[in-house]
Structure 1
Amino acid sequence: MKTTQLDTAAPSAKRSGTYFGLGTYLGLAGALLAMIVLFSLLSSHFLSYATFSTLANQIPDLMVLAVGMTFVLIIGGIDLSVGSVLALAGSAVSVAMLGWGWSVMPAALLGMGVAALAGSITGSITVAWRIPSFIVSLGVLEMARGMAYQLTDSRTAYIGDAFAWLSNPLAFGISPSFLIALLVIILAQLVLTRTVFGRYLIGIGTNEEAVRLAGIDPRPYKILVFSLMGLLAGLAALFQISRLEAADPNAGSGLELQVIAAVVIGGTSLMGGRGSVISTFFGVLIISVLAAGLAQIGASEPTKRIITGAVIVIAVVLDTYRSRRARRRN
């Protein structure tokens, strides 16, 4: 059988966790179903088409951000700046359209380009100086938020319905933004599981030094992943603008915690080398259904935060347990 450089440097994609077992997906689906049943019993209004169609049209931004964060965590990094980068991208779009008179498409491309540049800066500094991405992205978080305030004079910029087509429901009440986010998830899963690029990312997260010794330079791949994270934050900004008809410099505040929570709940390892975009989608659904269900039963904001935080802690504990078991098997 033909052996590639990556095969000699790191475990196969299947061993390192690219292909999650059916049991993992069934477990996540079971947890999601259990939550739906619980909230349906607690609230007579929860189990309805209106609830789920509204939920589907509110999560596209979280979906695409979670895809990017899955890739970042797989290579052993983390990006805390995604919420601020989203706000910066939205602010850039508002300046282009309201200040410079640009049309929708050039403004959208500018916003996504600015976000991708922010991601590239995070990745480049992380790689060039070998600084933990946690620290670098924390700095970019502050800079991006400050720039968003400067561009909008710290005020919400009302753009109007120029992007409304993204959030206007189509057949069955589903919006184009949800369909686009679903397409991103499918493409990302195929890239991760069916391409050499995906295998390289798994190898980098599993054993970066071994990948380097095999003759593969991990640096451009890591920078590209952070750039992709930024690009998806720009796309998420367009989804938010389409719903709010405005660019808010405070948009995405704290969103990075939701994104990381969804990805970890889905089973992607905080230690790197293990992840699945499909399981991340389940994580997004779980955390979104949890938030919607708690809101419908009238849970207070402190209660919602306590419960959500507890779910995140449990997910991290389970991730640590899985990682220890995997190390013992190897």
Structure 2
Amino acid sequence: MTTQTIAAAAPHSQPGAAKGGQPSSLWLRRAKEYLGLVLVLAGMVVFFGYASKYFLSMKTFNTIANQIPALTVMAVGMTYVMIIGGIDLSVGSVLALCGGVLSLAMVDWELGFMPAAALALAVGFLCGMVNGLITVTWSVPSFIVTLGMLEVARGSAYLATDSRTKYIGGAVSFINDPIVGGISPAFLLAILIVVVGQLVLSYTVFGRHMVGIGTNEEAMRLAGIRTRPTKAAVFALLGLLAAVAAAFQVSRLEAADPNAAAGMELQVIAAVVIGGTSLMGGRGSVVNTFIGVLIISVLEAGLAQIGASDPAKRIITGTVIVIAVIVDMYRNRMIARSAA
């Protein structure tokens, strides 16, 4: 297997450079995407800063930063899953299950944080691996597989917590206690995961395989590349990141709730789509996804500060998602025309 073979199967994965050392069209397109998302984010900050005198404050920005780690790390994993052409609807329920396991181990079994966290990570990894193995072994659409896991994990979360909120107390609060500038360790860890996630996607063979699978899986097979292990690993990684998100959320709330993260999978998918990851697979960026997370979080915080009702917030957020999907469709058509 050669680099040229992988590049042929996954054309969008090669950043490269044009002749004479000039940036390639791919880099220019990525720069435009970054700039477009940043301008949208900046415009929202300016608008809400004008609409609410309390929005442009360190308290608001610290609150947003310390609330998004769980959403951020799951969005990184969802970016990978959507790049290979899949989707995972179970991440919210897996988060609740892993939080329940963490609380069960610490409260009922009296384990320390580290062994309890290791157990929760193992459960999340197992849930993701089951999703991946069923999807690749029997060629069942990931939508159906993860819909089933959504119910299984949620029911298991109720069993793990006895259908009630389990309070852990300050034993896990250190993950979310503000440190430098009011920023929590959870936020710093989430940023680190974003950076590592983008580096893996852009500069490793695993990342190129993901893009190749989403672009043309059959071409990857004909090139002699085994696609099934990569696809299963991507789902397992998302399950692991959902467990990390559970630790973040349990730390922030100092409790595990079996109803936690209900519907959060839609927020995760929305952030990935707003970030420009293709719904058809084959294209995506972890950094763009993080900007998508910020856009959703700023939108929700800004609407709350200007007194928007919950129905209004849902309508506006849903409209933003639909617009992002329409933009993605036009972007795909432009890429197809340029490739032709």
| TM-score tier (shorter) | over 0.9
1:290 paired residue among 287, 296, 299:
299
1:240 pairs with 2:249: yes
What's the counterpart of residue 195 of structure 1? 204
Q: Which runs of 5+ in 2 are unaligned?
A: 17-24
- How far the C-alpha of 1:98 sits from its partner, in A, is 1.3
Residue in structure 2 matched with residue 329 of structure 1 by the alignment:
338
Structure 1 position 7, deviation (Å): 2.2
Report the Cα distance in structure 1 between the residues aligned to 2:127 and 2:26, rounded to whole angstroms: 27
* Match in the other structure for 2:13: 13
RMSD over equivalenced CA pairs, Å: 1.4
The counterpart of 1:22, out of the listed 24, 27, 31, is: 31
Conserved 8 A contact 1:191-1:198: yes
Q: Tell me what 1:121 maps to.
A: 130
Residue correspondences, number? 329
The one-character-per-residue Cα deviations of 1:141-188 (angstroms, maximum 9, x if unpaired) are: 000000000111110000111111111000100000000000000000
Q: Which amino acid aligns with 2:180?
A: A
Give the one of 149, 155, 167 matched to 1:158. Answer: 167
Of the three residues 218, 225, 237, the one matched with 1:228 is 237
Say if 2:125 and 2:239, in contact at 8 Å, map to a contact too. yes
Q: Secondary structure at the match of 2:89?
A: coil
- Aligned 1:1-330 pairs, distance under 5 A: 3-14=3-14, 21-330=30-339
Once the two structures are TM-superposed, the CA of residue 18 in structure 1 deviates from its matched residue by 8.1
Shift of residue 199 of structure 1?
0.5
Q: Which moved more, 1:60-69 or 1:315-324?
A: 315-324
Q: Following TM superposition, by how much is the alpha carbon of 1:329 offset from its aligned partner in structure 2, in angstroms?
A: 2.3
- For residues 60 and 95 of structure 1, the distance between their equivalents in structure 2, rounded to whole angstroms, comes to 23
Q: Give the 3 Å change call, closer, same or farther, for CA 284–180 of structure 1 in structure 2.
A: same
- 2:312 partner SS: helix
Distance 1:162 1:180 in 2: 19
What secondary structure sits across from 1:21 in the alignment? Answer: helix
Where do 4+ consecutive residues of structure 1 move more than 3 Å?
Answer: 14-20
Contact 2:134 2:140 in 1 (8 A): yes
Superimposed CA distance per residue, residues 96-150 of structure 1 (whole angstroms, 9 cap, x where no aligned partner): 1112111100000111110110000001000001011011000000000000001
8 Å Cα contact 1:262-1:280 kept in structure 2: yes
Q: Extract unaligned runs of 5+ from structure 1.
A: none
Is the CA contact 1:74–1:205 (under 8 Å) kept in the aligned structure 2?
Answer: yes
Distance, in Å, in 1 between the alignment partners of 2:10 and 2:194 is: 25
Counterpart-to-counterpart distance in 1, 2:325 and 2:133? 28
Find the aligned partners of 1:284 and 1:148 in 2 and give their Cα distance. Answer: 26
Output one character per residue of 1:53-107: Cα deviation in whole Å (capped at 9) or x when no partner.
1110010001101000000000000000000000000011111111211110000
SS of 1:169's equivalent?
coil
CA distance in 1, matches of 2:141, 2:276: 22
CA distance 1:305–1:200, change in 2 (3 Å): same
Q: Look up the equivalent residue of 1:67 and give its one-letter code.
A: V
Displacement of 1:12 in angstroms is 4.5
Offset of 1:15 from its aligned partner?
7.2
Structure 2 length-normalised TM:
0.94
Offset from partner CA, 1:18-49 (integer Å, 9 cap, x none): 86521111111100000001001110000101
Residue identity (%): 62
In 2, distance between residues paired with 1:310 and 1:134?
23
**Counterpart residue type for residue 263 of structure 1:** V
Residues in 1 aligned to 2:133 and 2:298: alpha-carbon distance in whole angstroms: 36
The 3-state SS of whatever aligns with 1:271 is: coil
Deviation at 1:315, TM superposition (A): 0.4
Residues 9 and 213, structure 1, Cα contact 8 Å, conserved in 2: no
- Cα separation, partners in 2 of 1:214 and 1:326, compared to 1, 3 Å: same
